A and B are shown apart, each in its own frame.
Chain A
Amino acid sequence: DAKTTQPNSMESNEEEPVHLPCNHSTISGTDYIHWYRQLPSQGPEYVIHGLTSNVNNRMASLAIAEDRKSSTLILHRATLRDAAVYYCILSRAGGGNKLTFGTGTQLKVEL
């Protein structure tokens, strides 16, 4: 399975935008890019996913590089409730919907 690389941690101030990067240089043409986040002592929560085009939903935006070797999750206005571990995951279409979680990026949000 293709691997993703994320920074271990990032910090942001409340009400400011946050850009969480993810590198996936070995991505294949049928791999989807997913983002989940996990608050302490809870199960992960789906954030967004995409294949080639940028995507927007009520939680965040996903910007995918033209060569698809990297992507960025954008939280437009961080709040204290956005403090979580964010996972960037690749999964192959038709691969049984299996997700392989790395260690993710711990986002800290300060007042």
Chain B
Amino acid sequence: DGGITQSPKYLFRKEGQNVTLSCEQNLNHDAMYWYRQDPGQGLRLIYYSQIVNDFQKGDIAEGYSVSREKKESFPLTVTSAQKNPTAFYLCASSRKRPPYNEQFFGPGTRLTVL
């Protein structure tokens, strides 16, 4: 079955450590996205990529970094510069066919920084 996988489901890290969240898709989608969700809030866009080897900052990119070396993969690194990293992180992908493309979301990774 095609879909998006995120691993792990729960992740714990000590303050000051960088951590990388995995996102893989086998939907052959060109575009991929990372969102952050805090309790009781909507999703906020961190980074997005519309093609391999290219990505753009979203609304809250500070303290995060990404890479897009393969079409299927879009890992997100939460760096020690991110002041409040504890959150629910969601990855999504979509086709790049205009004018609009439904986004498919993964199950999310819940990151807790102690």
Binding site for B on A (CB under 8 A): 32, 34, 36, 41-46, 49, 87, 91, 93-94, 96-104
Q: Is B85 an interface residue (CB 8 A)?
A: no
CB neighbours (8 Å) of A32 from chain B are 99-100
What is the bound-complex CA distance between A36 and B48, given in angstroms? 19
Size of B's binding interface in residues, CB under 8 A? 32
Given contacts A46-B104, A93-B99, whether A101 and B44 have CB atoms under 8 Å apart is: yes
CB neighbours (8 Å) of A93 from chain B are 98-100
Binding site for A on B (CB under 8 A): 4, 31, 33, 35, 40-45, 48, 50, 56, 58-59, 88, 90, 92, 94, 96, 98-108, 110
Chain B nearest CB: distance from A12 CB in Å?
21
CB neighbours (8 Å) of A34 from chain B are 100
Name 18 extra pairs, CB < 8 A, besides A99-B45, A99-B103. A34-B100, A42-B107, A43-B92, A43-B105, A43-B108, A44-B43, A44-B90, A45-B105, A46-B104, A87-B42, A91-B100, A96-B48, A96-B56, A97-B50, A97-B100, A97-B101, A99-B43, A100-B59
